[in-house]
Chains A and B, each alone.
Chain A
Amino acid sequence: MTELPNSTDRKMGLVIDLDTCVGCHACVISCKGWNTENYGAPLSDQDPYGSDPSGTFLNRVHSFEVQPQACGTQPAPAAQLTHFPKSCLHCEDAPCVTVCPTGASYKRVEDGIVLVNESDCIGCGLCAWSCPYGARELDLAAGVMKKCTLCVDRIYNENLEEIDRVPTCVRTCPAGARHFGDLGDADSDVSKLVAERGGFDLMPEMGTKPVNKYLPPRPKDQIEDQIDILAPLLAPVTGDAGGFMGWLDRALDKIPGGAN
């Protein structure tokens, strides 16, 4: 049903650490793999080996460059690169749910996960229009809306080892940049992490109240004048060589085609 629940028992979601993500896209691939082989219609590709490949993904990693403002202490600050994984944020006030005409999109009361019932979806695309984050993609082969399920078929799956009962992106991330847990419980590890690191919402002005949180990149160390502590020891002792070596140096310089 497309009426949003007033509250959910738990708020399961992800915390993504923008400081730690190295931009390897491993989560993108494991997501595509798991969600093609398991719950719902597979994530199809169009023209995968041709000249214009495209396909459905539930998680994509952008890269942004942040150029700090020049100031007195740092007249020419270095730009900073941030890799930025983005998938459904399982919003509390999910506009994608209320716009759906069929009731295919819904938010679960028990854990707050936003899902699409694929057998009810008419593929009108309106939910994707209403999502500010580009978290929903209409699968061209299946004609239904696809989105992150928070790996609902893993997190409660008793056929899996306990360690694997987390979303596949979290399990796969080699840098430990993705964390999974109950953001409605102030004592959970993820909530503590958010509090400690100043986790924030994407586009808060949209009023979607995302459950997923992002942790900001930590401030970078300053690049000092002298980077290499060995450099002073390796400095040339004299500027201009004299004697035979000096003569040889000058003579070699005169030969046409030399390096200088």
Chain B
Amino acid sequence: MHPAPSVIVFTTLSGLGFGLLIFLGLGLPDVTGMVAFVFFAIAYALAVGGLLASTFHLGHPERALKAFSQWKTSWLSREGCCAVGALVAMGLYGFGTVFLGTAWPLVGLIGALLSLATVFTTSMIYTQLKTIPRWNMPLTPALFLSFSLAGGALLAGQETVATVLLIIAGGVQLAYWVKGDQAFAASGTTLATATGLGNGGTVRAFEPPHTGTNYLLREFVHVVGRKHSQKLQVIGFALGFALPVLLLVLPFNGLMLKHIMAAVAVLSHLAGVACTRWLFFAEAEHVVGLYYGKR
């Protein structure tokens, strides 16, 4: 799949933003006033910024309101509904903690659940697609949820929880890469099933339908070199999980140093997740590539 920057930015930032909202909704950390304001500002900047980025790749963003209508069948529509619900509930909760100095736990819990649901629905947009075997597996929601929770805990300053969640998320990522590499072959879709010509012998794409490129090739066929992808896996894993965990468990003296290290951990995690998210799209192969003799 074409790794569109708008979609990478969207899933990376809003995953982190909704992750932070989950923890804020649960009262972790239990903050009020100015401190709460800063936390909510960061969470909303990430979540809303990501959602806005996602509209950049639409052909008609001005009709985006229509996308809330088909929640009965469409995961994309469900995502939109959950996101708005989460932002409204958490806005209410945030208003209480920032301006009234009181936290309404029930509102916070609802907001946290809707935030979690938003991340889950985002992941299901990709997971539901049988046409992209690398995404069409239960590890995809696990990947999005574990990343969001780990990042949220890290941003919320929940050191112990964050350490555990980062290790889990790193593990899910490794499993996803191993499983993902086998997914296309396991799907059973080949040029023979795509053309129905397999009975006669070995099928080969002989001539494409046109000499130039087209929407399908631009959108669905993106070839990442094996070496390139391995390098990015190492960088993504190191920045996203290994380094943040290291920074969390190393004993630093002094509040200032601790804060700086936490900030470094967050930035490193963000860069690492963006890197693995690029791979998530770039390495995903759509079955339509078979018709073009490409994957």
Chain A positions near chain B (C-beta within 8 angstroms): 1-3, 18, 25, 28, 52-57, 60-69, 77, 79-82, 84, 86, 95, 97-104, 120-126, 128-134, 137-138, 140, 142-145, 200-207, 214, 216-217
Contact = CB atoms under 8 A, between A and B. Distances in A.
Contact of A80 (B69, B200, B210, B212): B200
B76 interface: yes
Nearest to A56: B215
A176 B72 CA distance: 42
Contact of B209 (A56, A62, A133, A203): A62
Nearest to A204: B193
Contacts of A61: 209
Contacts of A103: 66, 69-70
B244 interface: no
Interface string B39-75: 0000000000000000001111101101111101111
Interface of B: 1, 57-61, 63-64, 66-70, 72-77, 80, 125, 128-132, 187-189, 191, 193-197, 199-210, 212-216, 219-220, 286-288, 291-292
Given A63-B207, A121-B59, A123-B60, A86 B74 contact: no
Nearest to A142: B59
Secondary structure dominating the interface of A: loop
A98 B215 contact: no
B291 A86 contact: yes
Given A53-B212, A123-B58, A124-B67, A99 B189 contact: no
A67 B202 contact: yes
B188 to A, nearest CB: 5
B64 A202 contact: no
B57 A125 contact: yes
A249 to B, nearest CB: 45
A199 B252 CA distance: 71
Given A121-B59, A134-B288, A67 B206 contact: no
Contact of B206 (A25, A65, A142, A204): A65
Contacts of B219: 125, 128-129, 138
B59 A144 contact: yes
Contacts of A216: 196-197, 199
A124 B76 contact: yes
B286 A129 contact: yes
A52 B64 CA distance: 32
Contacts of A129: 1, 129, 131-132, 219-220, 286
Contacts of B187: 205
Contacts of B66: 101-104, 120, 122
6 contacts: A62-B209, A77-B201, A101-B76, A103-B70, A144-B60, A206-B189
A133 B219 CA distance: 14
Nearest to B200: A66
B287 A203 contact: yes
Nearest to B207: A63
Given A99-B128, A123-B59, A203-B189, A1 B196 contact: no
Contact of B204 (A67, A102, A205): A67
B130 A95 contact: yes
Given A2-B70, A54-B213, A55-B214, A132 B59 contact: no
Given A57-B214, A62-B205, A103-B69, A134 B291 contact: yes
A62 B61 CA distance: 34
B207 to A, nearest CB: 4
Nearest to A141: B59
B196 A64 contact: no
Nearest to A144: B59
Contact of B196 (A52, A56, A63, A201): A201
A69 B61 contact: no
A121 B60 contact: yes
A143 B68 CA distance: 19
Contact of B131 (A55, A123, A206): A206
A56 to B, nearest CB: 7
A100 B61 CA distance: 15
